[in-house]
Amino acid sequence: MIPRHLSPYILKYSKEYPIVALVGPRQSGKTTLAKALFPNYKYVSLEALDTRQHAISDPRGFLNDHGPFIILDEVQRVPELFPYLQEFVDERQDPAQYILTGSSQFLLIENITQSLAGRIVTFKLFPLTYTELFQYEADADFESVFRTRHPDRQRVSQEQLYHIMWQGFYPRIHDKHLDSYKWYENYLLTYVERDVRSLLNIRNVRVFENFLMLCASQSAQLMNYTTLSNALGVSVPTIKEWISILETSGLIFTLPPYFTNFSKRLVKTPKFFFVDTGLLCHLLSIRSVEHLKTHPLLGSIFENFIISECFKRFCNFGEKPPLYFWRDQSASEIDLLIYNGKVGFPVEIKLSQSSHSDFKKSIEQWLSLKGNTAEQGLVVYCGEHSIHTHTAVPAIPWYVL
């Protein structure tokens, strides 16, 4: 198993709560990680029909039969268990009595809100980060993400970068050395047929599949509900519901605009990004690395890759990523803004292998805004060398961050 950077935080808080929940998209490695972190726990999958029927028909008897210190996989399939879990953990005060995993975050969170508030700690596990895949050390702390540089890391060529983005980061692809394009094809089929059908009353699944592909074409752009609505022939409220389903099931995440008291009025529409670029490439029908190299959305795919890497690394602290973008009415824009609660750290993302002074103009403009106390920013690019490292806005190869 590839070590996961979320592991120490799960172990830390498992000593403080009677229930630990691990949620995230399908095939992100939740079951594997739960078994690795709690090797002495009994494992029960609620995907098995007979087991699930037992849990549904007699939840108290099911929990009594299996006892505490158990991993319950795909627990959202049996919501009848949650009130009884509350009762059982209240009777026994041991920490980490139950480890719950679930692919459908939205169902799991809904039941937690109703039954287990204050008794459960929840972690989100996404596909691998670049640093996990190449087994680099985890970020030292919250403040070091995309700020600490690692010049000793192995250089990544442009050819390797394209392959990394196209193949994506789902663990099974790398563990089993699978054909990634075929794997994503089956993954999407499972997602639409099992998760989407169980949650949405969709008469024509093909419309939802077209919606996924249209979302891929707008990744790293401002969210335009009306455009999607007109293209698919469904209402704007339906589009918003579908976007919410993609986000809560862990396929996409949104980046809100950054607000301060600056005098310029900012665009309020969020952007959205795919958590995994391999899935993004599949939805864009990019069948090979060679195809990716010449794709018109290559720049957006690279931006999605860098921002999703940052997003997942913050999630690996078990916390909400403090990520935004900034754009004013004159279309000056910063791709990524990391906000620590006091000041923002602006990041510009460029696919270019050469650094140009124009790359940092938006950052310099933002730093100079009245009332802004931030003093530093960063240009992330595809070159081999760190440039202007002693200035306020250096240019840094992406793979050393």
Structure-token match 């029927």, residue found: 53
Share of the chain above pLDDT 90, in %: 75
C-alpha 19/C-alpha 98 separation (Å) is 5
Please say whether the beta carbons of 373 and 343 come within 8 A.
Answer: yes
pLDDT for the residue numbered 263: 40
C-alpha 278/C-alpha 352 separation (Å) is 21
User: Any alpha helices (H) in 97-222, and if so which ranges?
Assistant: 105-115, 130-133, 158-167, 171-175, 180-190, 197-199, 205-217
Would you say residue 297 has pLDDT above 70? Answer: yes
pLDDT for the residue numbered 36: 97
> Which candidate, 256, 259, 260, 265, places its Cα nearest to that of 311?
256
What are the structure tokens assigned to 330, written together? 């004159």
312 vs 91, higher pLDDT: 312
Residue 155 vs residues 150, 165, 239, 385, 401: alpha-carbon distances, Å: 11, 16, 42, 10, 12
What are the structure tokens assigned to 222, written together? 């401002």
* Bridge partners for 19 per DSSP: 98, 120
Average pLDDT, the chain: 91
pLDDT for the residue numbered 314: 97
Please say whether the beta carbons of 153 and 130 come within 8 A.
Answer: no
C-alpha 38/C-alpha 41 separation (Å) is 6
Would you say residue 128 has pLDDT above 80? Answer: yes
Q: What is the pLDDT of residues 39-94, one digit of tens each?
A: 999 999 999 999 999 999 999 999 999 999 999 999 988 989 999 999 999 998 89
- Residue 14: pLDDT band (50, 70, 90) is very high
C-alpha 400/C-alpha 320 separation (Å) is 23
What are the structure tokens assigned to 15, written together? 């000593």
Whole-prediction pTM? 0.94
Would you say residue 259 has pLDDT above 80? Answer: no
pLDDT for the residue numbered 264: 39
Q: If 0-12 CB within 10 Å is exposed, 13-18 middle and 19+ buried, where does residue 151 land?
A: exposed
C-alpha 243/C-alpha 226 separation (Å) is 13
Residue 246 vs residues 25, 199, 251, 263: alpha-carbon distances, Å: 10, 11, 5, 34
Please say whether the beta carbons of 251 and 25 come within 8 A.
Answer: yes
The strand pair at 271-274 and 252-255 is best described as antiparallel
Structure-token match 């639409």, residue found: 192
Please say whether the beta carbons of 170 and 188 come within 8 A.
Answer: no
C-alpha 89/C-alpha 35 separation (Å) is 21
First-residue to last-residue Cα distance in the chain: 24
pLDDT for the residue numbered 105: 62
Would you say residue 206 has pLDDT above 70? Answer: yes
331 vs 63, higher pLDDT: 63
Once rounded to an integer, what is the mean pLDDT over residues 308-313? 98
- Residue 342: pLDDT band (50, 70, 90) is confident
pLDDT for the residue numbered 108: 64
Domains and CATH numbers, the chain: 7-124 (3.40.50.300), 130-400 (no CATH)
